[in-house]
Amino acid sequence: MFAKHLGGHSLMTNANHVRGSAWIQFPRVLCARWSFENIVLMGDAAATAHFSIGSGTKLALESAIALANYLHSEPTLPKAFEKYEEERRLEVLRLQSAARNSMEWFEEIERYFHLDPVQFNYTLLTRSQRISHENLRLRDPEWLEGAERWFQTQAGVQESAPVRRPMFAPYKLRDMELKNRIVVSPMAQYKAVDGNPTDWHLVHYGERAKGGAGLVYTEMTCVSPEGRITPGCPGLYTPEQEAAWGRIVDFIHSESDAKVCMQIGHSGAKGSTQLGWETMDAPLKDGNWPLLSASDVAWSSENQAPKAMTRDDMDMVRDQFVKSAEMTERAGFDMIEIHMAHGYLLSSFITPLTNKRGDEYGGSLENRMRYPLEVYRAVREVWPQNKPISVRISANDWVGEEGVTPEEAVEIARMLKEAGVDICDVSAGQTSKLGKPVYGRMFQTPFADRIRNEAHMATMAVGNIYEPDHVNSILMAGRADLVCLARPHLANPYWTLHAAAALGDHDAKWPDPYQPGRDQMWRLAERADTMLGKV
């Protein structure tokens, strides 16, 4: 673009500046209090917001107006300062948070260079996360519709097809074709009997498959009785269990067009614990069984110390994973996920907080990944070539440099990708009691984003994602390929169909017997839109 002006010289970016970049050395000012005696702070002295959202002057002026008003209305200076701070602090914090998102986008801009210009533009426009998908539609409906068309066309939909929200674009992994991007995230039910799924599971998973999500995950299903988390966890290690899962899969395939993924795992040091609604992660009151883990690090001072696995133990557990994978295939599942997150057995190898081994399975990341990758490769051997495998990881131990960091998670994903894993299911935490997660809306999505755009691997985002708007902006911005919702699907198995109705999307397929319910919902949604003046 600038070639003709540069006379053969290359462009100098801000980062090449001799004194370092002015843009990536932004002092973020946060003050514990904004006044002292007769002195009061405002503007950049009270709080700075990165100039990439262009709001510093606005903030300063709004604060000045508020301060002036309170100086007139309040009887004393301290009262006026107190009211001023009370009114402005939250507003300023909100803007600072948006400014930080925006600043990070600019600082990491190289991560997004490979994106298509349409998607790149979308990430630029939504970088502060103050502007959501539907909010962007209010600002520029034509541009957004063009972007949505681009999204679904690159997902394989014909150019002439009606434009739908990104969440309704299909997705293909190996030969598995998903009708949309919504995933029912794995969720333990604690209702199995001797590892056997029951009618509870048939109804539970059947309902979620009817509810419109493209992909339904089972809960963590354990590869051995000792590998169960609780006595209520299901397994895949007996023919009865295989048959019971087969019945569930058959129902889903015959009565819905959802695909179904089996999540297999081994509980490691977090095994032999109470049901989720009892005391989570606490040992059983009686009947505890011995535990295996990467090292003899107990989950907490209450939990028993696991045995550090010998090479024989490692062979045994790897073979259990393989047997479960074979059963998964015979039961008819479309996809399999290996659980390498949340502090369970394979996760205990990956995180240095629980892997204290001095052999070739401990120490460097390469060593810590050796056994999990061995298990993956053994499963891949027996799992059909046309069906995908995902791996769930904890992309952040939330303990800083001592544990797995989002940066290291990119390296983990690179290794998984190189080994042939089709998609990385990016969760975080639950690997150590020391972890201090920072919760918030879509709080784990930045890790999925980073892996997708730095390791160039397909990702699934999960964690406090609950509105269609969240899903659409994550997908459209290329932060993940699929979006998992867990708790929203406990509250509402029909989350996807309800979202479609609320957005006026009449192409989502409802089960035939439910059409009158669908029609009523469509009418009600239309009426609500008319009242809001949208139609």
Ligand X SMILES: Cc1cc2nc3c(=O)[nH]c(=O)nc-3n(C[C@H](O)[C@H](O)[C@H](O)COP(=O)(O)OP(=O)(O)OC[C@H]3O[C@@H](n4cnc5c(N)ncnc54)[C@H](O)[C@@H]3O)c2cc1C
Contact 209, 511 (CB under 8 A): no
Q: With beta carbons less than 8 A apart as the criterion, state whether 118 and 477 touch.
A: no
Cβ atoms of 261 and 334 within 8 Å: the answer is yes
Q: Which is nearer to ligand X, 43 or 225 (CB)?
A: 43
Per CB under 6 A, the list member of 44, 87, 319, 467 interacting with ligand X is 44
Q: Which is nearer to ligand X, 44 or 529 (CB)?
A: 44
| Site membership for ligand X, residue 43 (CB under 6 A) | yes
Q: Which residues bind ligand FMN (CB under 6 A)?
A: 185-188, 219-220, 263, 276, 339, 341, 392, 427, 462-465, 485-488
Q: Report in angstroms how near the CB of residue 237 gets to ligand FMN at its nearest.
A: 17
187 binds, among ligand X, ligand FMN, none (CB under 5 to 8 A by kind): ligand FMN
- Asked if 422 contacts 174 with a C-beta cutoff of 8 angstroms, the reply is yes
Of the candidates 140, 161, 139, the one whose C-alpha atom is nearest the C-alpha of residue 150 is 161
The tally of CA atoms less than 13 A away on the side-chain side of residue 195 is: 21
Q: Which residues pair with 335 in a beta bridge?
A: 261
CB of 410 to ligand FMN, least distance (A): 20
CB nearer to ligand X: pick between 42 and 209: 42
Binding partner selected for residue 57 from ligand FMN, ligand X, none, CB under the kind-specific 5 to 8 Å limit: ligand X
463, interface contact from ligand FMN, ligand X, none, CB < 5-8 Å by kind:
ligand FMN
Q: Is 122 a catalytic residue?
A: no
Q: Could you tell me how many residues of this chain bind ligand X (CB under 6 A)?
A: 10
Q: Which residue is nearest to ligand FMN (CB)?
A: 486
Q: Are 368 and 315 in contact (CB under 8 A)?
A: no
C-alpha closest to that of 422 among 78, 204, 176, 202: 176
Residues 45-104 that bind ligand X (CB under 6 A): 45, 51, 54-58, 60
CB of 71 vs ligand X, minimal distance in Å: 17
- Closest by CA to 345, choosing from 304, 296, 298, 293, is 293
* Residue 35's binding partner out of ligand X, ligand FMN, none, with CB under 5 to 8 Å set by partner kind: none
Residue closer to ligand FMN (CB basis): 42 or 462: 462
Q: How far is the CB of 112 from ligand X (least distance, A)?
A: 22
Distance CA 63, CA 7 (A): 47
Q: Can you tell me the distance from the alpha carbon of 308 to that of 293, in angstroms, rounded to the nearest whole number?
A: 5
Least distance in Å: CB of 36 to ligand X? 17
112 is written with which tokens? 């997004």
Candidate list 84, 190, 237, 344, residue with the active-site label: 344
- Give the residue among 284, 275, 434 at the shortest CA–CA distance from 354: 434
Query: Binds 408, which of ligand FMN, ligand X, none (CB < 5 to 8 A, cut-off by type)?
Result: none
Nearest approach in angstroms of CB 474 to ligand FMN is 12
Beta-strand pair 176-178/171-173: antiparallel
> Using CA of residue 444, residue 220, residue 274, residue 272, what is the dihedral sign?
negative
Encoded one letter per residue, x for contact with ligand X by CB under 6 A and - for no contact, window 190-229 reads: ----------------------------------------
362 binds, among ligand FMN, ligand X, none (CB under 5 to 8 A by kind): none
How is the chain split among helix, strand and coil, in percent rounded to 5? 45, 10, 40
Q: What is the smallest separation between the CB atom of 42 and ligand X, expressed in angstroms?
A: 7
The partner in contact with residue 276, picked from ligand FMN, ligand X, none with C-beta cut-offs of 5 to 8 angstroms by kind, is ligand FMN
Judged by beta carbon, residue 54 or residue 146, the one nearer ligand X is 54
Residue 21 or 492: which CB sits closer to ligand X? 21
Count of CA atoms in the C-beta half-sphere (13 A) of 65: 5
DSSP state for residue 382 in the 8-state scheme = H
Smallest gap from Cβ 15 to ligand X, in A, equals 15
Rounded CA-CA distance 185/486 in Å is 5
Interhelix angle for 365-382 vs 406-419, to 10°? 40
- Which residues have C-beta within 8 Å of that of residue 384, sequence separation ≥ 6? 329
- The site partner of 60 among ligand FMN, ligand X, none (C-beta below 5 to 8 Å per kind) is ligand X
One-letter amino acid at 442 equals M
- Number of helices (H), then strands (E), belonging to the chain: the values are 17, 14
Which range in 37-45, 396-404, 420-428, 503-511 contacts ligand X by CB under 6 A?
Answer: 37-45
Q: Which residue number, 47 or 455, has a Cβ lying nearer to ligand X?
A: 47
Catalytic residues: 344
Return residues touching ligand X (CB under 6 A): 43-45, 51, 54-58, 60
